[in-house]
Structure 1
Amino acid sequence: MFLDISQLGVHYAGRSKPAVDGVSFSLQAGEIGVLIGPSGCGKTTLLRAVAGLEHANAGSITLARQLVSSAGVHVPAESRRIGMVFQDYALFPHLDAAHNVAFGLTHLPAAQRQQRAGEVLELVGLGNVHKRFPHELSGGQQQRVALARALAPQPRLLLLDEPFSNLDVDLRERLAHEVRGILKAAGATALFVTHDQLEAFAIGDRIGVMHQGSLHQWDDAYALYHRPATRFVADFIGHGVFAQAHIEQRGEDVVVHTALGDLTDMLECPLPGAYADGLCDVLLRADDIVHDDNAPVKAQILRKAFRGSEFLYTLQLQTGETVMAHVPSHHNHAIGEWIGIRAEVDHVVTFPRETGS
């Protein structure tokens, strides 16, 4: 593995709990990893530890087979050959784009500096802005100049800390796709921090979900959404609810009874003995619920959010439980109206029933 983090702990003086607690994951060369989670979950602290800006109190960080952090080892940040792209871009306002990019290339002769700056500006699609100053560039262009500057010295690893947070929402996801293409074209290994799921899905090969200093799951986007390892991941990623369920062994088959009817795809479902009396909560995503006027189960529309091609309906069953559903926008039903719904669940994901659920 190119980047290997093992049982990493970072503890700030005066705090009762570690900011990063026993985190382990790895990246292969050329992979893009993303850390996502709510504010204060430890993702930026972890990134800073990889950069060498925070000391490890436990565990280890290995980069290209070199131990760079442990309780007894700390390779300084400037010796790690790591590039960083910050939230505010940190461009020098008095330097044009080419000189911003060449800033970290002082070890090269002037002609080579100029050539390398030109190469990476071309790579990020800004071959025509060499002489423009930061204030003459759009937010997206400034972000790409910052990326070019970080790539110019050919770092072993690139770290990006919420690099799109200052951009408008529509631009973020598009730029995330573009940055992914740039990093892949450069053959870069990168670790990215964000709180935005769409950014994470757009850019990451592997995504880690953090909460209260712990890494709950390190996986691809599909697995995080359809096979969440913990209840927190299930709740944090995507739209969904937890509905009461009862798992029953019926001959050789396992059946999951819910207020929406019996769920049938049991390939990955635990046996009834996994839960006391087979009682559990099942995860129902908005795309697991299908609007069907002929379905026997009816639900009342509590809320609706227009998303252009679809509505996101929040629905209440006669049992009092709520579910969410994506419904094509030409099905424009009124709040308070009752509609037919059915479950189409490809991956039955269950968790222990919460007290009071």
Structure 2
Amino acid sequence: TPTKGRIVLNNRVLFDAEQGIDVPSAQRRVGFVFQNYALFPHMRVARNIGFGLQDLPREERQSRVEYYINLLQLQGLERHYPHQLSGGQQQRVALARVLATNPEILLLDEPLSALDNYLRDRVEKSLVDLFSTYAGTALIVTHNLEEAYRLCDRWLVLSRGKAIAYGRKEDVFERPGNYATAQLTECKNISSAEIVGDGYIRVPHWDGCILKVAEPLPDGLAYVGIRAHHVGFWPDVTDEAPEGDNVFPAWPVFSSETQHRVTLYLSLVVDTNGPTKCSPPLERGPHAPYHLQAELPKDVWFDLKQRIMSQPQPRPLWVSLDALRLILMAD
């Protein structure tokens, strides 16, 4: 039970510390799915699902249990105990138990974190199907950004117990508005910034580069960011700087690969007369200093690497920091 604050659900006050209101949990119509599912180990699947329906007539209770067994594809498991189920099956039983009580809101705590990768995709699709027919609101707590993007329409970002951002997931992701939200939504490139003119900023930690911005500068500008997958690369390795704003030479000092993508750690070279005038960094490897991270498909990186290796002498890459992709933050 909270110690202070106020909780209102569909115009019903569930808790108000000042007025002394604290509706009993059985009357709140709030469904909660625990991270570890919290099934009763001594009860079979059907009894677990019907646990919150004790006040209903037997026939109605049985009918509702059967409905959610069919909805969540648990047929044939009615007489199984929780320890006889897979992780995905246990989660579906937990969901059925909660949904059977007709909650006005559904709370899910890290619903996929306990599942192996091969199960996570299947269960996630089941949740998407479930949410499409559920008449209430589903609130999901997760630390997995991709999971949140696939499952949710709106995001509420919490930091140190306080809400720091709320809105459509696209808006929060593309325009986080503050440093903490950008960091929590996995923006890999964030630096302090200062205004140097109308529509221009200087970024000290990105080798002092001057960037043109496309949006009005916020009052009290403090930071700028760009997501790693928005760092662009010029396809040609040339001596002359390509035309356009926010284009700089950069040396890759380290790379990290997954099955499909590569992360490049880049050292920018801003104060130079051209790529032929700048030498490769003396230090390379996982501990080498760098300015930016960039993410790109492996086939794109393979093509770029081939172009670099075909040069008679070392050449840096040309990177582009699209003004429309810059994230401007006041705090």
Question: TM range, normalised to the smaller chain?
Answer: 0.7 to 0.9
Contact preservation (8 Å) 1:300, 1:315: yes
1:309 aligned partner, one-letter code: H
Q: How many residues align?
A: 288
> Residues 187 and 225 of structure 2 are in contact (CA less than 8 Å); yes or no, is this contact kept in structure 1?
no
Quote how far apart the aligned CAs of 1:138 are. 1.3
1:258-315 CA distances to partner (integer Å, 9 max, x unpaired)? 566643522xx326xx34xxx7431111122012243732222233222323212221
227-236 or 130-139, larger mean C-alpha shift: 130-139
Name the structure 1 match of 2:234: 292
- Residue 229 of structure 2 aligns to which amino acid in structure 1? D
CA distance in 1, matches of 2:140, 2:93: 17
Provide the residue aligned with 1:231 in structure 2. Answer: 179
Letter in 1 for 2:145: Q
**SS of the residue aligned with 1:180?**
helix
Q: Does the 8 A contact of 1:302 with 1:316 survive in 2? A: yes
Of residues 242, 250, 261, the one that matches 1:310 is 261
Aligned to 2:217: 270
**CA separation of 1:229 and 1:244: change in aligned 2, threshold 3 A:** closer
> Are 1:176 and 2:176 counterparts?
no
Contact 1:225 1:238 in 2 (8 A): no
SS at match of 2:133: helix
Alignment of structure 1 residues 210-229 onto 2, 5 Å: 210-229=158-177
| Structure 1: gaps (5+ residues) | 1-53
Q: Is the 8 A contact 1:300 1:339 kept in 2?
A: yes
RMSD of the alignment, in Å? 2.7
Cross-structure match for 1:147 = 95
Task: Give the structure with the higher percent strand.
Answer: 1
Matched, 1:61 2:10: no
Shift of 1:347: 4.0
Deviations 1:210-249 (A, max 9, x none): 1111110112221121111211001110232124545455
TM-score when scaled to structure 1? 0.72
| Residue 199 in structure 1 maps to residue 150 in structure 2 | no
Take 1:86 and 1:74, find their aligned partners in 2: how far apart are those partners? Answer: 22
Report percent identity of matched pairs.
30
The equivalent residue for 1:11 is none
Residues 153 and 168 in structure 2, CA contact (< 8 A), matched pair in contact too: yes
| Corresponding residue number in structure 1 for 2:52 | 104
Q: Relative to 1, partners in 2 of residues 1:344 and 1:220: Cα closer, same or farther, differing over 3 Å?
A: same
Q: Do the aligned residues in 1 keep the contact of 2:226 with 2:325 (CA within 8 Å)? A: no
**Which letter maps to 2:135?**
G
> What is the CA–CA distance in structure 2 between the aligned matches of 1:92 and 1:195, rounded to whole Å?
27
Trace 1:1-357 onto structure 2 (pairs within 5 A): 54-57=1-4, 59-71=5-17, 72-169=20-117, 171-172=119-120, 174-243=122-191, 245-250=193-198, 254-256=199-201, 262-266=211-215, 269-270=216-217, 274-275=219-220, 280-294=222-236, 296=241, 297-318=248-269, 322-330=291-299, 331-332=301-302, 333=305, 338-352=316-330
For residues 115 and 315 of structure 2, the distance between their equivalents in structure 1, rounded to whole angstroms, comes to 39
Give the TM-score, by structure 2 length. Answer: 0.77
Shift of 1:136: 2.5
Question: Residues of 2 paired with 1:307 and 1:188: CA distance?
Answer: 38
Amino acid at match of 1:285: R
